[in-house]
Structure 1
Amino acid sequence: MTTLPMTAILSDYKPMASFTSPIQLLRGILALLTIPPLTAIVCLSAMTDVRWFRKSKSQAQQFPRAWGRILCRLANIRVRVEGGEQLDQAKPYIFIGNHCSMADIMAFSGYITHDYRWIAKKELFAIPIFGTGMKAVDFISIDRSHGREAVQSLNDAAQRIAEGSSVILFPEGTRSPDGRLQPFKTGAVMLAIKAGVEVVPVGFNGTYQALPKGKLLSRGGEVVLRIGTPLPTKNFKAKDKQELAAILQQRVAELLDECHLPVPSSMEAASISLPN
């Protein structure tokens, strides 16, 4: 139920490193083989639930949540969430996090209970079953091309968020090749400014070690999602996008273990103090 799984994983496959045990190897293979059928089952279940049973897109989020939890358990990825008590379940947020693994999506989908939606490029909504399932649970389509359509798509997404739809974004734009925090792009920041809702920094710790970029099979291990203090964005304007990107990068960095921090030179731009 996310914008991922099989094509993104296979696109940059590299040979798998040795495992600590044959059991973990088997668990990694089982999790990988489970992704396609489980995704189809979850999509069909969500569509059925929304159309014929409870007809609640909010309650149907249990299906992508189950998707994430099942895959994490199969892959021996043990997830712990810290700081979730700071969230107001009645408020919309834009969650902003570092992105270093497909395990980020599995862990966030499975263990963050706040009512939120994923943003997916519009082409994915055309995929049979998968796209229909995303529409059923109200995922947000975004046009990643250039021109008037892309601008309108961004405005529509911002309106959806302002009206109460929380979302999760990865401002680095792609997974980190080494697990370390990369510079934030301003596209996600502009969406936050347009929506005017609070931004919540999230630190994904341990996901790179569990499933590095370019690997097919999980190594397992503990993952910690650290939730930071929500940051208001109403005082930021479009001209402040670089400043806000640097602030958010710093906020996320504060939630990361040392192994995920960028080299010092790349953090210099993020050492901007919050405005009064």
Structure 2
Amino acid sequence: MQLLRSLFFYVCLFLSTFLLGIAAVVVAYITRNQGLAHKVGRLWGNVNLWGAGVTVKLSGLNNIDVSASYVYAANHQSWFDIFAILGKLPVQFRWLAKQELFRIPILGHAMGSIGYIPINRKDRRQAFESISEAAGRVRDGISVVIFPEGTRSTDGVMQAFKKGGFILAIQSQQPIVPISISGSYRILPKQGDWNIRPGVIRMTIGRPIPTAGLSTKQRDQLIAAVREAIRANLTKGEGGLLPTNEF
């Protein structure tokens, strides 16, 4: 059954990326509306969650104003974090994503059409230009989602946070919202086989943490506050505070 589920998911992933990727590009080109193209991306996330037999339990939505702009910061356990956030976070947002993803045929074009922001982690100057661009988007009313760890955890345990996303939040002077993603590591670990294990991902939206009035000199305190807010809704096995059997 696991093999059949895995094959079904990868067929869904290929077809949805091809068809919905083209759809996002066409919608953005014809309508000039990135928000509408983002909704196509949201459908892509939900289709792939369905294809994998994954359920997302979302809580904490009452902590945010869905019409406001924020910097959302989430821990990163699996590729399924992307599907979960894209499919289930009911707000307009743009990803700050590594530049390499934009070179993937169709997917990269779709990301560019929707308005996602590439970041070149190998070039410090270009990386800061991307951060400044993203901060401007947030000030203009469009939220941005970041993974402060920079990459997926190899064992499901939260890693150290990089500073760039927090400089973005401080530059925007808009609140940063912690998102705790628990259980996605079980679906598809970064290291191991490519088999899909259907299950449940718990996604918890925390209370916004203000950045108004902060300077970059205070980024370490901001990092610590966001990290603890994310940990509060992770299991101890994930480097968090909840009992493992709480999941």
TM-score, with normalisation over the residues of structure 2?
0.90
Checking the alignment, whether the CA contact within 8 Å between 1:182 and 1:262 is kept in structure 2 is no
How many Å separate the matches in 2 of 1:122 and 1:212?
Answer: 22
Task: State the partner residue of 2:205.
Answer: 227
2:11 maps to a residue whose letter is: L
Contact 2:119 2:126 in 1 (8 A): no
SS of residue paired to 2:157: coil
**Are residues 1:261 and 2:239 paired?**
yes
Q: Which sits farther off after the overlay, 70-79 or 34-43?
A: 34-43
Which runs of structure 2 are paired with 1:92-171 in the superposition (5 Å)?
92-171=69-148
Query: Following TM superposition, by how much is the alpha carbon of 1:123 offset from its aligned partner in structure 2, in angstroms?
Result: 4.4
Question: Which segments of structure 1 move beyond 6 Å, counting only runs of 4 or more?
Answer: none
- Does residue 30 of the first structure (1) align with residue 8 of the second (2)? yes
Q: Secondary structure at the match of 1:185?
A: coil
Which runs of 5 or more structure 2 residues have no equivalent in the other structure? Answer: 242-247
In the aligned structure 1, how far is the partner of 2:224 from the partner of 2:167?
13
Q: How far is the alpha carbon of 1:140 from its aligned partner?
A: 1.5
Select between 117-126 and 78-87 the one with higher mean Cα deviation: 117-126
Within the candidate set 200, 204, 209, 2:186 is matched to 209
SS in 2 for 1:230: coil
Q: Distance in 1 between matches of 2:190 and 2:234?
A: 18
Match of 1:45 in 2: 23
Cα distance in 1, alignment partners of residues 99 and 80 from structure 2: 23
Within the alignment, does 1:84 sit opposite 2:57 as a pair? no
Shift of 1:124: 3.6
In the alignment, the residues of structure 1 paired with residue 4 and residue 148 of structure 2 have an alpha-carbon distance, to the nearest angstrom, of 33
Flag the 1:147–1:86 CA change in 2: closer, same or farther, 3 A.
closer
Q: Could you tell which deviates more after superposition, 114-123 or 187-196?
A: 114-123
Partner letter of residue 223 of structure 2?
Answer: A
Q: Secondary structure at the match of 1:242?
A: helix
8 Å contact kept, 1:143–1:154: no
Cα deviation, residue 161, structure 1:
2.0
Deviation readout 1:118-137 (Å, 9 max, x if unpaired): 11233443444332211221
Given that 1:96 and 1:202 are in contact with CA atoms closer than 8 Å, whether structure 2 keeps it comes out as yes
> Residue 74 and residue 124 in structure 1: after superposition, are their counterparts in 2 closer, same or farther (change >3 A)?
closer
**What is the rounded CA distance, in whole Å, between the counterparts of 1:230 and 1:163 in structure 2?**
18
Looking at structure 2, the residues matched to 74 and 248 of structure 1 have their Cα atoms a distance apart, in angstroms, of 32
* Equivalent position of 2:245 in the other structure: none
- In the TM superposition, what is the alpha-carbon distance from 1:217 to its structure 2 partner? 2.1
Are the structure 2 counterparts of residues 213 and 124 from structure 1 closer, same or farther at C-alpha, using a change threshold of 3 Å? closer
